Amino acid sequence: MSQREHAPQSVPVVAVVLAAGFGTRFDPDNPKQLVSVGGKPIVCWSIEAFDSNPRVSDVIVVVNPAVRDAVERLVDRAGYPKVRMIVDGGRERVDSTMAALDALAAAGIPADAKILIHDSVRPFVERESVDGCIDALDEFDAATVALASTDTILLTQDRDGREIVSRVPDRPHTFRAQTPQAFRFATIRRAYERAAVDPSFHPTDDTRVVVDYLPATPVAVVAGSESNLKITTLADMPLAERIAAARLGEPTAAATTAATAVPAVPSDMAKEEARARMHAMLAQAAAQLH
């Protein structure tokens, strides 16, 4: 497996799991990061994606007052060995990112630490995407997981209350952003410092903070996957349940998300089979949405 070929990591690799959203659209008593998929709370899937990755050294979880107790209990019970802090976030996503960066700064994290910022409501991020971010930061100071758009994207402007197409970018150069979004600590810190003094600052995406406020810093694209879906509404749950079932049922998937090693030769075959099965399940699940 690829991590075996890497030299021991010289810098911390810190995952920031953002679980401070208030989304209660499909369960008023239960913000969606606490809803269970495949019998496990969504936030736990997300924490495990990083906690179980041998290349990740530390995990911090950002919460709000409504979920803090529940998340603390879940983390205690599971005993995730790499969860160092549970930090209070803010009202907006960017406030939560900033709270995490402040906490990391206060903890004395080095400027060249690799920071992976992840939405907790993307519970099924692939191991390859996380590793891809960590690798990309050897070459770039910023990177984001994203999926090539299969649709032509239209950029629009509002004109008298109606959207008018202003530009049609080349399709091969249009991507749907996913997470994690990954940065050297000094880079994301500097971008947020510059953004903070701009009164018109209102980004909804960490990559955008770098693109807008550190335009000379290239942000590399790391391959995402369809299964790295964002759970937003009830309509996303059947597909999420299918993916969870596939992950739980597959020895290979379990092995790649656990620290235990996978034997080289049969693992590749199993992986192919698993992928094929996953595709079939995704297709079936998509069908059930309607």
Binding stretches for a copy of itself (CB under 8 A): 144, 146, 149-159, 162-169, 171, 173-178, 203-205, 207-208, 211-212, 218-221, 227, 230, 232, 234-239, 241-243, 246, 279, 282-284, 286-290
- Is 2 or 156 the residue whose CB approaches a copy of itself more closely? 156
Pairing relation of β-strands 114-119 and 13-19? parallel
14 sits in which H/E element: strand 13-19
Shortest spacing between CB 266 and a copy of itself, in angstroms: 27
- Is 85 or 153 the residue whose CB approaches a copy of itself more closely? 153
Cis amide bond preceding 172, omega within 30: no
Shortest spacing between CB 175 and a copy of itself, in angstroms: 4
- Is 87 or 243 the residue whose CB approaches a copy of itself more closely? 243
Task: Give the 3-state secondary structure of residue 124.
Answer: coil
Shortest spacing between CB 210 and a copy of itself, in angstroms: 8
**Residue recorded with tokens 């160092």:** 84
Burial of residue 121 (CB within 10 Å: 0-12, 13-18, 19+) is buried
Could you please report the per-residue DSSP string of 35-63?
A: SEETTEEHHHHHHHHHHT-TT--EEEEEE
Shortest spacing between CB 83 and a copy of itself, in angstroms: 27
Other Cβ atoms closer than 10 A to 259: 11
- Is 86 or 137 the residue whose CB approaches a copy of itself more closely? 137
Closest to 83 (Cα-Cα) out of 71, 97, 99? 71
- Is 95 or 212 the residue whose CB approaches a copy of itself more closely? 212
Shortest spacing between CB 34 and a copy of itself, in angstroms: 21
